[in-house]
Chain A
């Protein structure tokens, strides 16, 4: 019996997926899980991988290295998967460097932005990193700021950033780059994400009349910043935030009107592959998502499965060679892998081109930048 089961297991193509389904990053993790499951249905409906049914093992790493490392080992030694995907967040990303170099599996990493992860995998031949790195994110911010200045004449920026790695990494360089590009940054301060009280900070920022308030933090900070800016009479002409996700229902709140945010994707994206994804998502889950980790999970699994099919085998080297040749129109835009900037052995997927900027308007997210994705003009009237 055990032998029969073992045979059945060997017949399937197996992929391990490590995601933060609990803990502070669970919104992104659950969105990615929905994307993976949608992709799994589609792949198996289309005949699976190499004519065999695709089997996925989803494990909750809680965004904790102490959980992620044993899960990674389990995928390789117990589940004997053909590839590992998921892996979200910098601490988890860097913690698996050791086990990865020990076992050398093929990894299609969902997203970790820290250069620590990129450098940690230096020399590793089997890492495909889909999400942009932190410097790509900042390049997108700079491009958007240039767009704002060209369109409105804006030249002064106040910066608020959370004091963790997400907000603080390279913040000095960001400010220096903005100044180099001709912006004046008269106010820049850090804050504790989730503290909920920004009145003191915003009151100090008010002393510097600026065109743009640019904040880097998490979803919990979005509402207090918008509400308390009004309360203290701080009136930048644009509030622009870059949290990884926005609070549920933020769209419907009147204070969110014209607040700008950066996202890897919105359900309003005009790309044909995105419209197709939205249709499939609605059919399976009965609702929409605005979390870009949903299409990111979908893209990761579908491209991985496609590479296996093209390779005609689950052999790691041959699948990696096919994955490196990926040239796909995805819901998130064109996906092609190229050598990563700091560690050229790593394959990098999306870059600064992934990002778009939207504004909350009439209860939804309206893309306003870049022009190719814009569904409306930038509203420059926030008061």
Chain B
């Protein structure tokens, strides 16, 4: 199954070149948003591997988006402004992590949810000439707004998140994350520095989400607190990862590809009531495939190997 990853990358590289006739630019647009969803979902999954349910992706996405926009509007070169996205989100997450990562389960989830709301309100209330208040700001496009160029930049963003995920998977961190998820007490006994490891996962996830936010904003050309820090982003990241398969690299990416294509396809075919069908499919997968779509793949691999 080692061929799957490279095949998906090659396919992604070829998307703007597919001879889809009149549909080509539309396909590239949809694919760009698939990349954004996949990167946000995988970034969320990285911290989820320590067993924490964070509802703060919207906050880090927004921080990255605002850092990029505010810096770019003040004359900072766009590539530097773009890099500020992950830096600001990562730095803020360290502060949040220090005070919240000793919380568990629902308490942690509520704390992160509240944080996302607080950040949104702060950006609304800051002076108008700084953040644009509740109305927001328009953001300058990267690469002059060139559609294909931005698609490939989005692919680079996703590949960076994938690389981070794979690096963790093939390092001792994977075992540390898994041990913490399965029981913090046991992890401590095994010598895992629990809080420090959770903080690392949280900050890495936040920085990557901030990068996605900066990228998405350079593609959508605006920041508005209500949308940019919207809870919908956190829910989409979480649902996409669960649908595809949590604690894996392939799951959130597969989830984003299928969910977004499914939604777009259903909308084009059904027109009316497509979200109901979409919701039912989402529900069925979560009910009958608790390990997400990748569990089907894993099951087939086990069957093929004749193992249990």
Which residues of A does B touch, CB under 8 Å?
A: 22, 59-60, 65-66, 69-70, 73-74, 76-78, 80, 90-91, 94-95, 97-99, 101-102, 114-116, 119-120, 163-165, 167-171
B37 nearest CB neighbor, chain A only: A66
B124 to A73, Cβ gap below 8 A? no
B26 to A98, Cβ gap below 8 A? no
B33 to A74, Cβ gap below 8 A? no
Interface of B: prevailing SS: helix
A165 to B145, Cβ gap below 8 A? no
A164 to B138, Cβ gap below 8 A? no
**CB contact between B221 and one of A22, A120, A165, A170 (< 8 Å): that residue:** A120
Residue total for B at the interface (Cβ-Cβ under 8 A): 34
**CB contact between B132 and one of A70, A95, A116 (< 8 Å): that residue:** A116
**CB contact between B121 and one of A59, A119, A163 (< 8 Å): that residue:** A163
B121 nearest CB neighbor, chain A only: A163
Interface of A: prevailing SS: helix
Chain A residues within 8 Å of B275, by CB: 22
CA distance A60 to B224 in the complex (A): 21
CA distance A342 to B224 in the complex (A): 19
Q: Is B220 an interface residue (CB 8 A)?
A: yes
A69 to B220, Cβ gap below 8 A? yes
B221 to A168, Cβ gap below 8 A? no
A169 to B222, Cβ gap below 8 A? no
Task: Name 12 A/B residue pairs within 8 A (Cβ), A-sorted.
Answer: A66-B36, A69-B33, A70-B33, A73-B25, A97-B222, A98-B221, A99-B29, A163-B134, A168-B124, A168-B133, A169-B135, A170-B135
Chain B residues within 8 Å of A94, by CB: 136, 138, 221-222, 224
B221 to A77, Cβ gap below 8 A? no
CA distance A147 to B135 in the complex (A): 29
Chain B residues within 8 Å of A22, by CB: 275
Chain A residues within 8 Å of B219, by CB: 98
B24 to A77, Cβ gap below 8 A? yes
A120 nearest CB neighbor, chain B only: B138
Closest chain B CB from A96 CB (angstroms): 9
Pairs A-B, 9 closest by C-beta atoms = A168-B134, A70-B29, A94-B222, A74-B26, A165-B134, A77-B25, A164-B226, A78-B22, A91-B227
A171 nearest CB neighbor, chain B only: B134
Given A60-B267, A91-B227, check contact A115 B135 (CB 8 Å). yes
CA distance A76 to B29 in the complex (A): 13
B264 to A70, Cβ gap below 8 A? yes
CA distance A73 to B135 in the complex (A): 25
Q: Is B3 an interface residue (CB 8 A)?
A: no
Q: Which of B219-259 contact A (CB under 8 A)?
A: 219-222, 224-227
A116 to B135, Cβ gap below 8 A? yes
Chain B residues within 8 Å of A95, by CB: 220-222
CA distance A215 to B72 in the complex (A): 36
